[in-house]
Homo-oligomer: A and B are copies of this chain.
Amino acid sequence: MENEKLNIGDQFELAVSFSQDDVKKFAELTKDTNPLHIDPEFATKSIFKRIIVPGFLSGAVFSRVFGTIFPGIGTIYLYQEMKFKKPVFCDEKYYARFMVTQLVKEKKRAEVFCTLKSEQGETCIEGNAIIMHPEKIF
């Protein structure tokens, strides 16, 4: 996407997965001791039946993509919403998908609809983002 202008309808997709070790490290780093994320016995008895990946770990793929690939370095992150619709599990494949839905060229801003879907096509997280990019939105 280097030196390319963002347009309405532009899309991007990235495959991601999260290991149990990623979740453990994330929980330590964020001091999130919620047993749903770190205690297999507790998680087994929960409505999810197994360890679930924290929403801020799985959702961080949105930030990663905006800041590094689509539209890339120089992106200023203004807004993100996340509807947590289905749990995200360890060691499964997910797809982060992005579509530019609005441009406010005079403010160099774009609205991007973001989803994280399972391989079976279920939407686990969805929500709008607003980003600004001085060189790629005009």
- Report A's interface with B, CB cutoff 8 A: 22, 25-26, 29-37, 47, 54-57, 59-61, 63-64, 67-68, 73, 75-84, 127
Contacts and interface: CB of A to CB of B under 8 A. Distances in A.
Contacts of A81: 79-82, 127
Contacts of A64: 30-34
A1 B41 CA distance: 24
A29 B34 CA distance: 19
Contact of A32 (B26, B68, B82): B68
A78 B84 contact: yes
A32 B60 contact: yes
A36 B67 contact: yes
A69 B76 CA distance: 32
Contact of A30 (B34, B60, B79, B83): B60
Given A56-B60, A79-B81, A79-B84, A67 B34 contact: yes
Contacts of A32: 60, 63-64, 67-68
